[in-house]
Structure 1
Amino acid sequence: MSTESAAEKSAVNGIRTALGIGGVLSVIVGILILAWPGKTAMVVTAIIAIYAIAAGLVYAGLGIFSKNRGGWSRVGHIVLGIVFIIAGIVAFLNLGQATAWLALFLGILVGILWIVEGVVALSTLGDAASRGWTIFFAIISIIAGIVLLFSPIWGATVLWWLLGIALIVLGIIQIVRAFRFGKQDL
């Protein structure tokens, strides 16, 4: 076996392994979302809280230890770091409420984004290749956005379930790709 083919086989095996691990993790997370949606959402909220605390420590450290920044920049970094740290700690102390707030926030945010997306689609009607589909898309987007604004928690729950289903489906596809990657179709 030549060095080139050994390197190629090693690269293919590495890619197959990465695809397989990514697929399995995707399926596991998707199943967790569907089986325990509330608990999984709390875990996601806890991860975000950990990130907030870590980012806060970094910002505070930049403000405290950076000699190249001006006074206001250093103060700004320290204040931002403290805000991140406090937000992370508060989220941990009230994990259930923080999870509900995050769902509410995301539901409202997605609702607003869908309304804006629908309005933007309508503004491009003059350039649209298919005016009918553009109008249809815009109307559906605006209606879905309004529904999310009036019931953001319900909307976030539906989006969470759809994410779980999508992760399972895409994870299975990724696992199949891992087994098929690098094999020549006959």
Structure 2
Amino acid sequence: MSAEYTNGTPEQPERKTEYVEAEPLGRRERYENPTFLDPFEMGRQAIKHIRGGFGISGLVMLVIGLCLLFAPGRTLAFAAGLVAVGLLAGAVFRVLMGFFEKYVPGGWRVLSIIFGIMLGIAAIIMLRNLSASANVLFLIFTLGMGFSWVFEGIMALGESGFARSQGWAIAYGLISLLAGVTVLAVPAFSAASLIVFIGIMLVVSGLVSIIRAFTFGKAALHQLREEEAR
């Protein structure tokens, strides 16, 4: 009697290989990192809301940064007032997204609410102390901007999941962290140099945030359109 062997020998018969379908990368990352904003796990509306938030906040930062750099007669009180308005806008966006956006990770929603409340508190403290002495206002302005940027950077890096497809989110997070640490760690800033530095960093951060608004979820939206066309 003869036997046929396709991939093996009588001593070592062929082994059957079982193929198990791998779980999508985005889904695994979502479970491992509860703050990762994976557009492939969101609906169309959630993606549009996130993009809108990035775009509006980026535009606000860009306008405030340009005002700090080029507005005539700018003072520390003027800068603190403008920045406080920007922080309030960011606080409203973060809190609203945390409470009402159902199709984003729960961890991101919780951190977004907490961060939004912190931004709101910092903005209110700045606005209530615009008429304080220069030294007091300088301290409040420095601490408010420094810690806001640090937490913004942490949030952005968490949102990115450090995925290669989230390069702009990673860049935004690193820029925010660098700006925040610099403001907090460099005691030699004068009021004028602090205003210029914050203006430059707001312009850079605003531009990157606007780019995030155009790039976030682009592939996911394209995939949704293809599925709807079938």
TM-score by length of 1: 0.40
TM normalised by structure 2 equals 0.33
Q: Which one scores higher on RCO, CA 8 angstroms, separation ≥ 6? A: 1
